[in-house]
Amino acid sequence: MKKLIIILLVFVCTTGAFAQKERKFVREGNGYYADGLKDTTKLDTISFGKAEVAYRHALQIKPDDFHWQFNLANSIYKQNKPDQAASEFEKLVDKTTNPAEKTMVYHNLGNSLLAQKKFDPSIDAYKKALRITPNDPETKYNLAYAMKMKKKDQEQKKKDQDKKDKDKDKKDKDRSEERRVGKECRSRW
């Protein structure tokens, strides 16, 4: 009986120690993340980097925690690494059934994709978020912004292509003029 009590006591103590350690990392990560958000005049990638490390430590102990994975993805995004953040957000899409959480994931996935100028996928992500939470003003704004940026990008590409075609036409005209002049010069001799 004493052995059983000792084994249970050791088990409870070690389990509690692991739980305290993971929560310590999360609190640490949350603190660094909050520090990074304090100064809005610059992007504090050092604080967000420290937050990322802390969240990764917590996830080593408890790898399936949705909130910590979400915080990790946010801290990566805040470090100006939208490709890595998008990858993390994509992993989270199927890890929750909570509508509010799913909306946040799709919204932030859209932000990460938009930062990479991946307009169509970002628009799709925002639309998925709005299907869940149709009245979210931030997502509506971001969707409109992504659509505007896509249109602007298409217009710029068209301008660039028109300029390229115009330059090519001018070069072709110059070459044919050189040939004509060259033939006239040869015929004189």
Per residue in 102-124, pLDDT (tens digit) is: 999 999 999 999 999 999 999 99
pLDDT at 87 over 60: yes
In angstroms, the Cα distances linking 52 to 11, 62, 86, 185 are 30, 15, 15, 73
pLDDT at 26 over 70: no
In this prediction, residue 24 carries a pLDDT of: 72
pLDDT at 10 over 50: no
Higher-pLDDT residue of 29, 162: 162
Per residue in 64-91, is it b (16+ CB within 10 Å) or e — as a string?
ebeebbbbbbbbbbbbebbeebbebbbe
User: Residue 108, Cβ neighbours under 10 Å: how many?
Assistant: 21
pLDDT-based confidence at residue 6 (cuts at 50, 70, 90) = very low
In this prediction, residue 181 carries a pLDDT of: 55
pLDDT at 143 over 70: yes
| Residues of the chain above pLDDT 70, percent | 67
pLDDT single digits (tens) 122-135: 999 999 999 999 99
In this prediction, residue 153 carries a pLDDT of: 93
Overall average pLDDT of the 90-113 stretch: 96
pLDDT at 12 over 80: no
Overall average pLDDT of the 58-74 stretch: 91
Query: What is the average pLDDT value for the chain, to the nearest integer?
Result: 80
Overall average pLDDT of the 150-170 stretch: 84
pLDDT single digits (tens) 162-174: 788 777 766 766 6
